[in-house]
Structure 1
Amino acid sequence: MSTEILPLLVFSPLLGMLLLLFVNKQQERLIKAIGVVATLPALVLSLFLFMKERSGVDLDIYNVVWKWFGFGNFDKLNPNLFAVNFELGIDGFSLVMLLLTSILATLSAVAANYIKKEWKGYFFLFFLLEIGMLGVFTAENLILFFLFFEITLIPMFFLIGKWGYVDRERAAFSFLLYNGLGSAVLLIVIMVLFAKTGTSNIEVLQQIVSQGGVTLVANISPELKYGLLIALIIAFGVKLPIFPLHTWMLRVHVQAPPAIVMLHAGVLLKIGAFGLIRFGMGIFPGEFKELSIYIVLLGIINLLYGAFLALIQKDFKMVLAYSSISHMGIVLMGLGARNEAGVQGAIFQVVSHGLIAALLFFLVGLLYERVKTSQIYDIGGLAKSMPITAGFLLAGGMASLGLPGMSGFISEAMAFLGLFKEEPILAAIASVGLIITAVYVLRAVLAITYGDTRGAAIKKLVDIHSYEWAPVLVLVGLIVLIGVFPSILAEPLDETMKTLLGIGG
């Protein structure tokens, strides 16, 4: 049974797609129920794996290797040469990302209540997107990773373009163009590695490329290694995103429906960080170390650029969009530090920002449904008409600026601690970004909650509905849990950290 858990987890949304085929599109209540319930198997299985890991079970027992296809006939030389297997597996890092994905998928399905048309098509694409996201974090070879990576692009394009806001089509095509170019670069890297080594298995590639293992095909020159790493940084830099490859993301965050932005900001952007860590640091550790100073500089640019631009925005969605760019800069800075505190802080930031961004974008969607605007100064005085929502918004804002006791604090503290150890001058410069973050978050959140009320409609708003409680309570609870008990994340990541930094066994 253990070898079947990962395939069941990854492809469990197929059950929802199958059920939708037998439901009339007019049965909206039933479709909504299926939309939420069909995300639960992946959540339950992710929690099961997390509890097993916490109890000391070796995650390798859940790995899956099935013969898939190959190129040529090399049985006499090496049967695994140019063979591509269907391989799924998890370590502590991918387990954490799986759990984040499954939690946000369920909460996003609840938030989809704001969708007003064509529920059946919406959830069909939603389930396909979930399969792609789950597959990305479990794929054990680069070709399978790329296939799951591409699966996420197709449903996202339609979910933005059909169910988004006024300028949704432009946002969808911008998303597809930038991410398509990033995918093309990634495919080139994968094909070169496959051609040079005869394998796409990630663990074998790490042995061959990073540890100087033997390849039966062709040696990889130092120059080629640097070129491939730079190409990976570009490919995943589009997804993260890294300045100046970020403009598409701003449109998506503003124009996509809130439920989809929750997944986009919470999970899909994190695929960029996951790829940089798993493949950039994992396959090219020496070259990554040599380029680490440039990665730190890119992170500082992201942090300061995003913070400064967030400071002058009048639309709260744009504030959050630029905030995402800024916070991803902290991820790059932590990775560039190349020490335990920095890398662990970067991974914590990936998870923390996923939860915080999902919470804030859910609250933006909640407000937009009521007032049809996200302009900061048009929704002032929220604390008077919607005190509960205002309270959660304040909590999300405090988490975003790094209030102690919340996940944002511990992730930023570790990332900066790691950077101060390696590059104290650059870390001091980057610290300015934290000050600006506090300013733009407080400016926006306080203007919304306690600012001047500009319309009678604001005074008559209905506070949080029953179905809106679950997402905010779960997300706030997890943000506080990680902030108070960071070991809940640190312990599963222990072996991953040892592998990435080359310490221990």
Structure 2
Amino acid sequence: MLQQLPVLSMIIFAPLLGLLAVLLVPKDKGRLLQAVSVTAALIPLLLSLSLYGSYSVNPDGSLYEENVRWGEFTLPAGGAEQEEGSALTLLLQYQVGVDGLSLPLSVTVSLAAAMAALASVYIKKRRKAYYGWLLLLECGLLGALLAKDLLLLFAFAQTVLAAMTFLVGIWGGDGKEKAAGNWLLVNGISSVLLLAALLLLVYSAGHGPEGGAGRIFSAGYEQLPGLAEPGRTGESAASGSTADFLTSNGWVLRCLLLLAFGLRIGLFPFHAWLVKACAAAPAPVAMLLGGGAVPVGAYGLIRLCFEAFPEQAKELSWIIGLIGVINWLYGAVLACRQQCLRMLIAYLTISQSGMVLMGLAAGNETGVTGAAFQTVSGGLIVSLLWLVAGAVEERTGTAKLPELGGLARPMPFLSGAYIAGAFAMLGLPGLSGFIGSLFTMLGLMENMPGLAIAACVGFIPIAAALLRGATRAMYGPVSDRYSGVRDARLIEAVPVIVLLAFIVLLGCYPSIVTDMLLSGSADWDRSLLTAGIGG
């Protein structure tokens, strides 16, 4: 039945319809606003899960692709010496699709968004506008994951940019204006780099050896070298002048895309914006920042940098691996020094980005699968930690570790959830973090044993940071002012239980995701493995 419906468009634009419904609700109806928002956020989750089940039975992403032409523009091609009629037609299209990589991430982001909508019960200021921006943010994140066209990806990225800026700048805490400004600046630069890559693609279509005469060009992913292999994307694969131009100029395009998406995942040394944004954002928004925006950035890195340019990725594998180890160690060490629970989680988010880079740099099946699994798992774990941190801060009025302590007695449920999330991030067997870390380290050990050994050191400061946060906040003597705080209410317990259930499920049955990743390997990681990146 799903094959007969525009299910991908329904997943992307259901939050947008929810936004329109929110606009019709009176602003003083707080519970109704939240009910409408949660319902709108749940629809993409239910559709994604249904699609996941259908895809696992029949892993053919082409069954769910949607492609609609919006319009055409005629551009001159060939410069001053162009012949009459040698025009390039730029095709604007709505092209979305799903495969073994984008589908698990879509489930992760839609799950984080639904749980964030539930956790927004604390928001009291301008709730109508808040839920509207939150739903718009979810629409942008899901659209960026399912888009198969650079121009469409750019449009959804701008949606995320605008929505997150307002959510942090209006509903954030201390330093919210500066944090929102940093987010806008860094991600704005990322968008400019993405736009430059798009313009380079258009230029290549019109100025290659064939002059682009009479050609119809789109910004689809199939125009990129590693995604344009014969038989991979059908008739639309890049050929002629575009392929020739990109073969010789792939370095420029790949560097643009690498910087564009590297900025979005907190790549060292461009990470300060992520720390400040997470520290200032309200907890539900931080869930979508660390558990949604960062995984989407990692997806772009995998799809448009490594998969599309496997040859360049092979030559840069050691550099990317080294940057990944630096990110991994740097975030872990700085997390040990933090006196604030929010800052601790923010630096650990940067550390997790390093783990993804290490898996991609390994370039073998184990490492690449580990990187993809870590992206999914990290989104769930970070969302859980931010959810608990927000609940603790709402009750105690602070996230500073020296002012907390003994919360395990009045709040055993939330304290236990935080400890479970900490163990998952550390890589405890039986939880999802173990699988991603294990696959990544095994893949890295196969091709880059020196970097793998150096990366193993990072587990020590991560364990120290997580243990320090748990002992300072949850154990020790109970302060008199916290002795009467309440544990999680039902509306808070539900998202905690759901996120924790998914973390345990993926830890005990990782094949739920790994089988999906491997079944889609012919669609998303074949070019990486064929090129033999890392070895």
TM-score, structure 1 length as denominator? 0.95
Pick from 9, 29, 32 the counterpart of residue 31 of structure 2. 29
Q: CA RMSD in A?
A: 2.1
Separation in 2 of the partners of 1:354 and 1:33? 24
Pick from 178, 199, 218 the counterpart of residue 199 of structure 1. 218
Asked if 2 retains the 8 angstrom alpha-carbon contact of 1:36 and 1:106, the reply is yes
Show the counterpart of 2:508. Answer: 484
Alignment-mate amino acid for residue 140 of structure 2: G
Q: Secondary structure at the match of 2:174?
A: coil
1:80, CA displacement in angstroms?
Answer: 9.3
Q: Secondary structure at the match of 2:143?
A: helix
Pick from 456, 466, 469 the counterpart of residue 431 of structure 1. 456
Q: Secondary structure at the match of 2:92?
A: strand
1:285 equivalent to 2:310? Answer: yes
1:205, CA displacement in angstroms?
Answer: 2.5
Separation in 1 of the partners of 2:190 and 2:516? 30
1:149 equivalent to 2:177? Answer: no
1:253 equivalent to 2:313? Answer: no
Separation in 1 of the partners of 2:513 and 2:487? 33
The 5-angstrom pairing of residues 144-183 of structure 1 reads 144-183=152-191
| 1:474-500 CA-partner distances (Å, limit 9, x unpaired) | 111100110110000011111433442
1:27, CA displacement in angstroms?
Answer: 1.2
Structure showing greater relative contact order (alpha-carbon pairs closer than 8 Å, 6 or more residues apart): 2
Separation in 2 of the partners of 1:374 and 1:208? 46
Separation in 2 of the partners of 1:395 and 1:79? 60
Separation in 1 of the partners of 2:104 and 2:85? 39
Separation in 1 of the partners of 2:171 and 2:253? 37
Show the counterpart of 2:111. Answer: 103
Asked if 1 retains the 8 angstrom alpha-carbon contact of 2:222 and 2:228, the reply is no
Asked if 1 retains the 8 angstrom alpha-carbon contact of 2:360 and 2:371, the reply is yes
Asked if 2 retains the 8 angstrom alpha-carbon contact of 1:300 and 1:329, the reply is yes
Q: Secondary structure at the match of 1:83?
A: strand
1:501, CA displacement in angstroms?
Answer: 3.4
1:195, CA displacement in angstroms?
Answer: 2.0
Alignment-mate amino acid for residue 118 of structure 2: V
1:124, CA displacement in angstroms?
Answer: 1.0
1:82, CA displacement in angstroms?
Answer: 2.4
Which range moves more in the overlay, 210-219 or 105-114?
Answer: 210-219
1:411 equivalent to 2:436? Answer: yes
Q: Secondary structure at the match of 2:494?
A: helix
Distance change (3 Å), C-alpha of 1:398 and 1:218: closer
1:219, CA displacement in angstroms?
Answer: 3.1
Separation in 2 of the partners of 1:217 and 1:59? 25
Which range moves more in the overlay, 375-384 or 148-157?
Answer: 375-384
Separation in 1 of the partners of 2:157 and 2:147? 10
1:347 equivalent to 2:355? Answer: no
1:204, CA displacement in angstroms?
Answer: 3.7
Aligned length: 502
Structure 1: gaps spanning 5 or more residues = none
1:209, CA displacement in angstroms?
Answer: 6.6
Asked if 2 retains the 8 angstrom alpha-carbon contact of 1:399 and 1:406, the reply is yes
Separation in 2 of the partners of 1:354 and 1:87? 26
Alignment-mate amino acid for residue 169 of structure 1: E
| 1:23-59 CA-partner distances (Å, limit 9, x unpaired) | 2111111111111111122112111101101222523
TM-score, structure 2 length as denominator? 0.90
Structure 2: gaps spanning 5 or more residues = 77-83, 206-216, 231-236, 531-535
Separation in 2 of the partners of 1:95 and 1:139? 12
Show the counterpart of 2:294. Answer: 269
1:98, CA displacement in angstroms?
Answer: 1.1
Asked if 2 retains the 8 angstrom alpha-carbon contact of 1:206 and 1:282, the reply is no
Separation in 2 of the partners of 1:337 and 1:167? 39
1:54 equivalent to 2:56? Answer: yes
Which range moves more in the overlay, 483-492 or 215-224?
Answer: 215-224
Alignment-mate amino acid for residue 376 of structure 1: L
Show the counterpart of 1:366. Answer: 391
